[in-house]
A and B are shown apart, each in its own frame.
Chain A
Amino acid sequence: MKAAETVTAQQQSVQHDGDVVLARQMGRQMAMALGFSKPDQALIATAISELARNIVNYASHGTVDAQPVSDGRDTGLHVVVSDRGPGIDDIEAAMTDGFSTGRSLGLGLPGTKRIVDEFDIQSTPGKGVTVTIIKWKHR
């Protein structure tokens, strides 16, 4: 049986900063179960940590959903981090290194994009943010 078939989708609700730790542990455990290398497990956990922190900092509540994906050749971990907070007015600016509206280094979103294989961000001002990332095992 392939690893991807034994790992089921999981969700972590995020409201407090303790939930950020739970979300990244969930991602790491799923990555480990899917057979990701240790560096990739750390990258996945770090990416989830950055994205889930944005929920705590900018929205009051959100979710992290993780599930295995396959494109026929490779297995990946697909993670959706979503909130119904104020949204992002200028996504292009938010994706620039050093840009921050809060008390941060402004590396969260662009840094996260660098450490995953696929990155998509959708936001409607007033309606929230949804970030989707995929990390593939063999690329």
Chain B
Amino acid sequence: MAVRVPILRQGSHLIASIQEELSDSDILNLQSRILDEVVKRQADGVIIDVGALDVIDSFGTRTLAEIASAVQLRGAKMVIVGIQPEVALSMVLLGLTLETVPTMLDLDAGIAELNGAAR
């Protein structure tokens, strides 16, 4: 069954809060909706909260990096928050990094990062 991740608006930022495990097509769906929303809402920042994800594998990592690149090309900034410690460890061991995307501990830190960067 398809999972639709809620994308909330907070000021000039968008917050996509993933609530459950996503399939590859769910992630691609999230990607296109975030890009649509960034344009429609003229957002200057996007936060993706991945705290509910038990697995971020090669496909997930690549897609998150692609979303961030596209968001940055729109002149907005993207931050990923909430990567679980064991998920982070798996990513490192698998050889995956998200070097091009800022990652923060939690939502508050993500919002602070976007606000700080906007100044």
- Residue positions of A touching B, CB distance < 8 A: 16-18, 20-21, 24-25, 28, 38-39, 41-43, 45-46, 49-50, 53, 56, 97, 104-105, 107-108, 110-112, 114-115
Taking A17-B24, A18-B1 as contacts, is the C-beta distance between A53 and B59 under 8 angstroms?
Answer: yes
Taking A39-B86, A46-B94, A111-B94 as contacts, is the C-beta distance between A104 and B22 under 8 angstroms?
Answer: no
Beyond known contacts A50-B57, A97-B95, A115-B94: 17 more, CB 8 A cutoff: A17-B23, A17-B25, A18-B23, A21-B23, A25-B21, A39-B86, A43-B90, A43-B93, A46-B90, A53-B57, A56-B24, A107-B94, A107-B96, A108-B58, A111-B95, A111-B96, A115-B90
CB distance from A115 to the nearest CB of B (A): 5
Q: In the complex, A111 Cα to B56 Cα: how many Å? A: 13
Q: Is B55 an interface residue (CB 8 A)?
A: yes
Taking A21-B22, A25-B21, A28-B54 as contacts, is the C-beta distance between A107 and B86 under 8 angstroms?
Answer: no
Contact residues in B for A45 (Cβ distance below 8 Å): 54-55
Contact residues in B for A110 (Cβ distance below 8 Å): 95
14 contacts between A and B (CB under 8 A): A18-B1, A20-B23, A24-B54, A46-B90, A50-B94, A56-B24, A105-B58, A107-B94, A107-B96, A110-B95, A111-B94, A114-B93, A114-B95, A115-B90
CB-CB nearest 7 A-B residue pairs: A42-B86, A111-B94, A17-B24, A17-B23, A39-B86, A49-B57, A46-B90
Q: Is B9 an interface residue (CB 8 A)?
A: no
Count the A-B residue pairs with Cβ separation under 8 angstroms: how many? 75
Establish whether residues B94 and A114, one from each chain, have CB atoms under 8 Å apart when the complex forms.
Answer: yes
Establish whether residues B54 and A42, one from each chain, have CB atoms under 8 Å apart when the complex forms.
Answer: yes
Q: Is B62 an interface residue (CB 8 A)?
A: yes
Q: In the complex, A117 Cα to B90 Cα: how many Å? A: 14
**Residue from B24, B25, B54, B55 whose CB has the most chain A CB atoms within 10 Å:** B55
Establish whether residues A115 and B93, one from each chain, have CB atoms under 8 Å apart when the complex forms.
Answer: yes
Q: Is B87 an interface residue (CB 8 A)?
A: yes
